[in-house]
Structure 1
Amino acid sequence: MKYIAAALCALTSPALACGDAETPCEIDQGSYHINTPDNAEGPVPAVLFLHGAGGKGTGILRMGGPMLERGYAVIGPNGMDRPGRFGTGWSFHPDRPQQRDEIEFIRAVIDDAVENHGIDRDRILLGGFSIGGSMASYLACDAPDVARAYAPVAGSFWRPHPAMDSCEGPVDLLHTHGWRDKTVPLEGRPLRNGVIHQGDVFQGMQIWRETNNCAGMRADTFETSGDFWRRKWETCENGSLEFVLHQGAHGIPKGWSTMAMDWFESLE
């Protein structure tokens, strides 16, 4: 059936064929949801967002209003159905069995969205929440050319952290995290009686500084006005790197989408 649905996506109007909450777009490796701005002309930028454990790609459709109003499409790939407590997730951990080639899957989602939904391949911001944020981080490390820039929220690398020189190339990356996050603490924590360990977000930022050949460990500029505390490294040879904290816990903070789009557009 999924091959029939995929054929329909290619042969009929994208808005009518697939992508909404009821009818995901099916591709060989899985499925995704998409919504495009009204009256869009020409290829449009997109925010591709990876859901957390137990979530679905429809989540970005519910929070995508400000993005659509600003002329962005929103794309929500679906994680794999996995047995256990949460039900859905990503094969993100490099030291555990890979149940799906997630890089290949995300590339296939983008290819399909470009071909059938008018997405601009060169203007894709790839974000994710919680485990989706971890997945976004590993994608940025292993295949930085998948998207124009990356914006993980409340999720980073897991232990053992990637080696300092192991990421494939420089990236533009905006990491956002809650100061009071207990689900994915900034320092990480053990899970499953110590079988696996979340990573240290500060260590993750050091990996990105090494990847982007930043001149120093300390951030170059600081901003503490408003709802976000922002640290930016501006003396890097390549890429753009920013670390944002908010006062909340484990969640996507109010105003994140506007902040992320402002940052993304500042790269161009």
Structure 2
Amino acid sequence: MIRAATLALALALPAAAQACGPDSPCDIEDGVYRIALPDAPDGPVPAVIFLHGFGGSGEGTMRQRGTIAAFTSRGYAFIAPDGQPREGRGGLRWNFRDDGRAQTRDEDDFLMAVADDAAARHGVDRDRIVLAGFSNGAFQVTYLACRHPEAFAAYAPVSGGFWRPHPEGCAGPVRLLQTHGWSDSTVPLEGRPLRDGAFVQGDIFEGLGLWRRANGCAWDDPDGYRETGQFQRRFWECDEGSALDMALFPGGHGVPSGWADMAADWFEALP
């Protein structure tokens, strides 16, 4: 059910403020996002909020026409927010954890505000939003899911996870699809140090252990295996309402072909 607050916001917005989409940004208090809607939606629609990588932007994300079409053709809205400016450099980034660097906003609050605004302006179903992202965007997805597992219906990080030191634990069970390239050397499965060890990427498999504990899994070994095209998958069935699935693909650092349909199939199969 769309929140009453988002309905009230929709009534309060002037027509000019609602006139935004894939080519013109939607302004909210702490930033902007772009949105592509499915043709002729019948009632509130599910959505994917997709977070760009390091140095990217929401505008750049909207050029991923194949990924966008894969979602909108299935009745999803596709939403691409902007991260924060990089200090002294072009492009944008997500400040996914408190690492001592300057930040102008709380990223978690901003993304939840994006979801609320999209529900108010564009008829997105607030209870059926997947928060996904690539690389630096995937780091943000992972940390938000750990801190606020109830904020979105599901999470789908691609080519990114936690950083070291890993969190001691997460706030509660999640529904999460972790996708990663077997030969990723930018964000290796085992992680790697950056800036002479000042920052260290985490281990994707250790992160899965955190999710298993959050989801109340009795054992570490998967409950099953499956193949979806190029994706080698394993999944865990744990506490009621939770879901955990890992998909490995044979490529490197990128959003692989077929990911959008796999992610939508996974989300639609959840209880």
> Which residue in 2 is equivalent to 1:170?
173
CA distance in 1, matches of 2:228, 2:127: 32
Contact 1:233 1:240 (8 Å CA) reproduced: yes
- Residue 101 of structure 1 pairs with residue 103 of structure 2: no
Q: CA deviation at 1:10?
A: 2.7
- Residue 230 of structure 1 pairs with residue 233 of structure 2: yes
Contact 1:214 1:233 (8 Å CA) reproduced: yes
- Residue 219 of structure 1 pairs with residue 222 of structure 2: yes
Q: Unpaired segments of 5 or more residues in structure 2?
A: 1-8
- Residue 202 of structure 1 pairs with residue 202 of structure 2: no
CA distance in 2, matches of 1:183, 1:262: 28
Moved more, 219-228 or 75-84: 219-228
Give the 3-state SS of the residue equivalent to 1:146 in structure 2.
coil
> Which residue in 1 is equivalent to 2:5?
none
CA distance in 2, matches of 1:48, 1:155: 16
CA distance in 1, matches of 2:159, 2:90: 17
Aligned residues: 258
Q: CA deviation at 1:237?
A: 5.0
> Which residue in 2 is equivalent to 1:130?
135
CA shift in 2, pair 1:238/1:40, >3 Å: closer
CA shift in 2, pair 1:220/1:98, >3 Å: farther
> Which residue in 2 is equivalent to 1:49?
50
Q: Unpaired segments of 5 or more residues in structure 1?
A: 1-5
> Which residue in 2 is equivalent to 1:116?
121
Q: CA deviation at 1:148?
A: 0.1
> Which residue in 1 is equivalent to 2:22?
20
TM-score, normalisation: structure 1: 0.91
> Which residue in 1 is equivalent to 2:160?
155
Deviating beyond 4 angstroms after TM superposition, the runs of 4 or more aligned structure 1 residues are: none
Considering only aligned residues, what root-mean-square deviation do their CA atoms show, in Å? 2.0
Give the 3-state SS of the residue equivalent to 1:138 in structure 2.
helix
> Which residue in 2 is equivalent to 1:70?
74
The aligned amino acid for 2:139 is: S
CA distance in 2, matches of 1:257, 1:60: 14
Q: CA deviation at 1:60?
A: 4.1
CA distance in 2, matches of 1:243, 1:32: 28
CA distance in 2, matches of 1:161, 1:96: 17
> Which residue in 1 is equivalent to 2:4?
none
The aligned amino acid for 1:112 is: D
CA distance in 1, matches of 2:14, 2:138: 33
Contact 2:228 2:262 (8 Å CA) reproduced: no
Give the 3-state SS of the residue equivalent to 2:39 in structure 1.
coil
CA distance in 1, matches of 2:218, 2:61: 36
CA distance in 2, matches of 1:238, 1:45: 18
Give the 3-state SS of the residue equivalent to 1:222 in structure 2.
strand
Identity %: 52
Matches within 5 A, 1:242-253: 242-253=245-256
The aligned amino acid for 1:37 is: P
Contact 2:57 2:91 (8 Å CA) reproduced: no
